[in-house]
Structure 1
Amino acid sequence: MVRLNCSIFFFLLSLIPVLTEAAAINSLKTFIQETRTVRAKFSQTLYDKNSRAIQESTGTMQFERPEKFRWAYEEPYEQLIVGNGTQVWFYDHDLNQVTIRQFSIAIGSSPAALLAGSSTIEDNFELVELGMQNEMEWLEATPKSKESAFEFIQMGFSPEGALKIMALRDNFGQTTLLSFSELDKNPTLPPDLFKFIPPDNADVITE
């Protein structure tokens, strides 16, 4: 059974379609300025260092800037990740296990900081335009922190301006690809989405 690496989540949190008027970097900045909430479905494929697919999953996500999110894996295993700006909860339904991490430590210079953090993009990432490839405009975001779990994140925008493909390479040589569907930009999201109470008899680990 392949379980979700918690650090991969912070890559997943950043994978949100956006609207673009010019180049990919401007699109990312525009998204941060103009988008407060997001709701979408996602599909994810994880590849090992030999480019073999080792995990496929689907689910839903909700996001509210700044620093609130809910990421729910539905298939093949139920897992839930919730952040409220103070703490982040990782819940594995099958194991009935909850891991709690301090938000500021968990988010760090991860990809989540690229969209959910309160600082500007350039504080944590070096952004480079990669140009047009396969009919999409691409950019690459490289973490400035040497302690980051990621080597880089690449984002591919469609001609209409939606971010369709994301690629992340972690320090173990694994690559994660995501795509989104049924994106709803700036919906009204209930506050309870970003609260989490561990189930009865759950194994709770605080880091």
Structure 2
Amino acid sequence: MNACAMVPRSATNTQPAVRWLARAARQLVLYGLVLLAPSMVWAAEGARSQLQAFVDQVQSATGQFTQTSLADPAQGARAAPQRGQFAFRRPGRFRWQILEPHEQLIVSDGQRVFQYDPDLEQVTERRADQAVGASPAALLFGSGSLADAFDLQDRPSRDGLAWLRAVPRNPDAGFVHVDIGLADDLPRRLELLDAFGQITRIDLSGVQTGVQLPEDTFDFEVPAGAALVRMN
């Protein structure tokens, strides 16, 4: 009796069938990567182009923010969020006002940056080029080429946003990197990792662009009774 007759015909074709399925699976994976790659590149390029468009085209804006610090990244313990409002006009003029839970104010007239803490009754004054040069404020309120001050790195899209990581070229910037999530050519979220391992998340909302701002929006006078500390 022929030995092959002892084995069903379907069984004799098992090895070729397995090899064919494996080859087909590999082809599907490769095909899927080919389809996925353009969307990944698009998302990365989208984040870069959106951020640069925001810097180049939006000369003034107002909005609100919620700022949350992750006090312990390992455990996820969060401090009370801060809420407030902001305004800016390029180049370099901005007003960042925390309204709750404790009031604070940061104002730049383009030459100097003032930080006022009412609870401490203290104002800190710095030169704008020192305070803003390679800070997250430069990403939002500065002008020119971002690549001069930051190494820009593409990040995967998430939460419906296109993401970009900005790593300061200045090692004394005070933070490791900031991730910027963008949509519709506007920054929507910033996630900053500082030198102490603390993560700060800033959500921007109600952003209105091209607004006409009063001339005194970025003026600052030291309140009566407050101490002025000048940082050189």
Superposed displacement of residue 118, structure 1:
4.2
Give the direction of change, closer, same or farther, for the CA distance of 1:185–1:112 in structure 2 (3 Å limit).
Answer: same
Are 2:59 and 1:36 aligned? yes
Q: Which residue of 2 aligns with 1:163?
A: 187
How far residue 128 of structure 1 moved from its aligned partner, in angstroms, is 1.5
Structure scoring higher RCO (CA < 8 A, sep ≥ 6) equals 1
Q: Deviations over 1:165-192 (max 9, x none)?
A: 2211000111111112221101000110
Of 17, 21, 25, the match for 2:48: 25
Residue 151 of structure 1: CA displacement?
0.7
SS at match of 1:99: strand
Q: 1:48, 1:173 within 8 Å by CA — same for their partners in 2? A: no
Equivalence for 1:5 = none
Q: Is the 8 A contact 1:114 1:124 kept in 2?
A: no
Which of 119, 128, 132 is 1:107 aligned to? 132
Cα separation, 2, equivalents of 1:86 and 1:39:
20
Q: 1:154, CA displacement in angstroms?
A: 0.7
Q: 1:103 to 1:135 in 2, by over 3 A?
A: closer
Percent identity at matched positions? 34
| Contact 2:51/2:186 (<8 A) preserved | no
Structure with the higher helix share, 1 or 2? 2
Aligned-pair distance for 1:194?
A: 0.6
Q: Deviating runs (4+, > 6 A) in structure 1?
A: none
Q: CA RMSD in A?
A: 1.7
Classify the secondary structure of the residue corresponding to 2:139.
helix
Partner of 2:161: 136
Say whether the 8 Å CA contact 2:177–2:193 is kept in structure 1. Answer: yes
| Structure ID, larger Rg | 2
2:171 paired residue number: 146
- Superposed displacement of residue 103, structure 1: 1.3
Using the size of structure 2 for normalisation, the TM-score is: 0.75
Question: Is there any run of 5+ residues in structure 1 with no aligned partner, and where?
Answer: 1-19
Structure 1 CA distance, aligned partners of 2:214 and 2:185? 28
In the alignment, is the contact (CA less than 8 A) between 1:81 and 1:91 conserved in 2?
yes
> For residues 143 and 27 of structure 1, what CA distance do their matches in structure 2 show?
19
Question: Do the aligned residues in 2 keep the contact of 1:47 with 1:55 (CA within 8 Å)?
Answer: no
